[in-house]
């Protein structure tokens, strides 16, 4: 947080800390810029009217570094809003003083959400089937599919190794674990369930006499 009014900084810090954020406060533009470069924060709450360097200039310099940390500008005046909008940096937000600390916290959360989309490596795609490892969501032809935990793990394992064929025994040990007291028939049952839920776009292929693979048909 870069804010030169101590009373505002104190209140905001209290609310942000209570919401689980670790906050560092700087009270000047150059101090804020240096701290942003040093600490690489997840988000910056940035006052516009600051000693030493304007908040918009702090933003401009960070962007010139290639730093796209989400910024929530705090401003008291209309002419400052014009300057913020003039930055056209995209994605940044502003809030006008006087503001409620609760709203600042909410806006910071929104900024973080927009700044952190799922990493591409978290999403496996095969034809019309998408599997998101981080949220454990699956969709088929754009429609959400409700899989059990084991069905998800099985599909994830197969989709993580495109076109590789795995035996039922291998899948049992990798997906169910070595201690699983189930037979290989369990794999067939779960494959059938996953296929049933994914419908025509299912990427799971039966390799006769060997096992299963996932590939784009």
Determine, following the binding rule CB under 5 A, whether residue 101 of this chain makes contact with Ca ion.
no
Instruction: Tell me the residue number closest to Ca ion, measured at CB.
Output: 49
Nearer to Ca ion, 6 or 65 (CB): 6
Crossing angle for the helix pair 149-160 and 185-198, to the nearest 10 degrees:
90
Q: Which residues from 3-32 bind Ca ion, rule CB under 5 A?
A: 4
Kindly state the smallest distance separating residue 27's Cβ from Ca ion, in Å.
9
Nearer to Ca ion, 4 or 26 (CB): 4
Cα dihedral 178, 182, 187, 189, rounded to 10, equals -160
Nearer to Ca ion, 50 or 214 (CB): 50
Kindly state the smallest distance separating residue 26's Cβ from Ca ion, in Å.
12
Single out the residue of 11, 15, 27, 49 in contact with Ca ion (rule: CB under 5 A): 49
Kindly state the smallest distance separating residue 2's Cβ from Ca ion, in Å.
9
Determine, following the binding rule CB under 5 A, whether residue 47 of this chain makes contact with Ca ion.
yes
Contact (Cβ atoms closer than 8 angstroms) between residue 155 and residue 204: yes
Nearer to Ca ion, 45 or 214 (CB): 45
Q: Nearest-CA neighbor of 176 among 164, 165, 188?
A: 188
Determine, following the binding rule CB under 5 A, whether residue 80 of this chain makes contact with Ca ion.
no
The token duo for 33 is: 């810029």
Q: What share of the chain is helix, strand, coil (3-state, %, to 5)?
A: 45, 20, 35
Q: How many CB atoms lie within 10 A of CB 154?
A: 25
Residues that bind Ca ion (CB under 5 A): 4, 47, 49
């Amino acid at each position: 947080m870069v804010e030169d009014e101590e009373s505002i900084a104190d209140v905001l810090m209290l609310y942000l800390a209570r919401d689980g954020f670790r906050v560092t406060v700087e009270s000047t533009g150059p101090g804020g810029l240096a701290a942003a470069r040093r600490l690489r924060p997840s988000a910056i709450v940035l006052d516009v009217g600051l000693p030493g360097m304007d908040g918009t200039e702090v933003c401009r310099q960070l962007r010139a570094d290639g730093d796209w940390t989400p910024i929530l500008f705090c401003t008291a005046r209309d002419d400052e809003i014009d300057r913020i909008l003039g930055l056209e940096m995209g994605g940044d937000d502003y809030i006008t003083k006087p503001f409620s600390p609760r709203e600042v916290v909410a806006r910071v959360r929104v900024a973080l959400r927009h700044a952190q989309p799922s990493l591409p490596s978290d999403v496996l795609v095969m034809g019309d089937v998408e599997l998101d490892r981080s949220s454990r969501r699956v969709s088929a032809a754009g429609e959400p599919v409700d899989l059990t935990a084991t069905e998800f793990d099985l599909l994830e394992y197969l989709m993580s190794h495109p076109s590789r064929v795995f035996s039922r025994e291998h899948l049992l040990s990798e997906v169910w674990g070595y201690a699983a007291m189930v037979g290989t028939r369990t794999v067939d049952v779960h494959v059938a369930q996953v296929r049933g839920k994914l419908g025509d776009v299912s990427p799971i292929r039966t390799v006769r006499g060997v096992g299963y693979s996932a590939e784009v048909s």
